[in-house]
């Protein structure tokens, strides 16, 4: 089973700053990785799929990169609405499992 | 507009049963793979179960295998999760989530969730 490890657990930044979030897979997932944003009391929202493709309606300040085992979500300039928890996610073909990282909380400094 | 609306959550005793429903609208439900994902209070996301568009292929997380049953009724645009032998550790918000059409391993729409509390 592939394990996704996110770092850091918490990122304290100010609006306008750049956020860099990491997700490491225990074995290669090629480019089959997604990122989600979740705000308190809300469902998660798909931001990035296939490591670097923005989902419909996602602002350009969100970008994803990486392949194999190391992935990065970058928020180029934090807006007030970007303070939230971010999860990475992958699906393995066999055994058929969908797994999430433990999350990174981006909080206001 | 795509909408997924879960219902059926509530308080249940350990060992009890509950059936969750997810009503879909705004898209051709029968063309999409669907999933249940849960989130324990204050914790991260955990995938629970998957069902193909026709219902012919089903997968479960090991944590619920043998206790939960996923199903769908494409004529009613509805997804279900029958939960039996519930345990305290099943306490969570349960989300139904749609598999992205071209890349169904990703979840592009989510419901608002329904809370299941297992406690005596």
Distance between CA atoms of A85 and A105, rounded to whole angstroms? 4
C-beta separation of B103 from B83 below 8 A: no
Give the mean model confidence (pLDDT) for residues B10-38: 98
Asked if B44's CB is within 8 angstroms of A100's CB, the reply is: yes
Looking at chain A, which residue has its C-alpha nearest residue B93? A43
- Chain A contact present for B105, CB below 8 A: yes
Query: Dmax of chain A from CA atoms?
Result: 42
What per-residue confidence (pLDDT) applies to B44?
97
Give the mean model confidence (pLDDT) for residues A32-44: 97
Asked if A34's CB is within 8 angstroms of B106's CB, the reply is: yes
Residues on chain A touching B46 (C-beta within 8 angstroms): 100
- Chain B contact present for A2, CB below 8 A: no
Mean predicted lDDT score pLDDT of chain B? 97
Whose CA is closest to A46, among A31, A27, A33? A33
Distance between CA atoms of A37 and B74, rounded to whole angstroms? 29
Using CA atoms of B41, B45, B48, B49 in order, give the dihedral in degrees to the nearest 10: 140
Looking at chain B, which residue has its C-alpha nearest residue A54? B108
Distance between CA atoms of B85 and B65, rounded to whole angstroms? 11
What per-residue confidence (pLDDT) applies to A4?
97
What per-residue confidence (pLDDT) applies to B13?
98
Give B23's pLDDT tier (boundaries 50, 70, 90): very high
Mutation pick from A41, A91, A92, A96 vs chain B, by most beta carbons of B within 10 Å, is: A91
Give the mean model confidence (pLDDT) for residues A74-98: 94
Residues on chain B touching A98 (C-beta within 8 angstroms): 35, 37, 47, 50, 105
- Chain A contact present for B53, CB below 8 A: no
Give A68's pLDDT tier (boundaries 50, 70, 90): very high
- Chain B contact present for A3, CB below 8 A: no
Residue of higher predicted confidence among A95 and B55: B55
Looking at chain B, which residue has its C-alpha nearest residue A56? B108
- Whether A102 shows a pLDDT value over 90: the answer reads yes
Give the mean model confidence (pLDDT) for residues B32-55: 97
Give the mean model confidence (pLDDT) for residues B8-37: 98
Q: Within 10 A of B56 (CB to CB), how many other CB atoms are there?
A: 7
Distance between CA atoms of A67 and B53, rounded to whole angstroms? 29
């Amino acid at each position: 089973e592939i394990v996704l490890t996110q770092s850091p657990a918490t990122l304290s930044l100010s609006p306008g700053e750049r956020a860099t979030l990491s997700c490491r897979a225990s074995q290669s997932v090629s480019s089959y990785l997604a990122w989600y944003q979740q705000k308190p009391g809300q469902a998660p929202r798909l931001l990035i799929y296939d490591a670097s493709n923005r989902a419909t309606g996602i602002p350009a300040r969100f970008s994803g990169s990486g392949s194999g085992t190391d992935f990065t979500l970058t928020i180029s300039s934090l807006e007030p609405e970007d303070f939230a928890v971010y999860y990475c996610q992958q699906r393995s073909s066999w055994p058929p499992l969908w797994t999430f990282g433990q999350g990174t909380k981006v909080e206001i400094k | 507009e795509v909408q997924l609306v879960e219902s059926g959550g509530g308080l249940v005793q350990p060992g009890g049963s509950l059936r969750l429903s997810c009503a879909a609208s705004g898209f051709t439900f029968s063309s999409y793979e669907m999933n249940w994902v849960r989130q324990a209070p204050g914790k991260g996301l955990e995938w629970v179960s998957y069902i193909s568009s026709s219902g012919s292929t089903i997968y479960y997380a090991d944590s619920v295998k043998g206790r939960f049953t996923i199903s769908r009724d494409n004529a009613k645009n509805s997804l279900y999760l029958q939960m039996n032998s519930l345990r305290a550790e099943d306490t969570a918000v349960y989300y139904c989530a749609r598999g992205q059409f071209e890349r169904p391993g990703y979840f592009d729409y989510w419901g608002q969730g329904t809370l299941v509390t297992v406690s005596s």
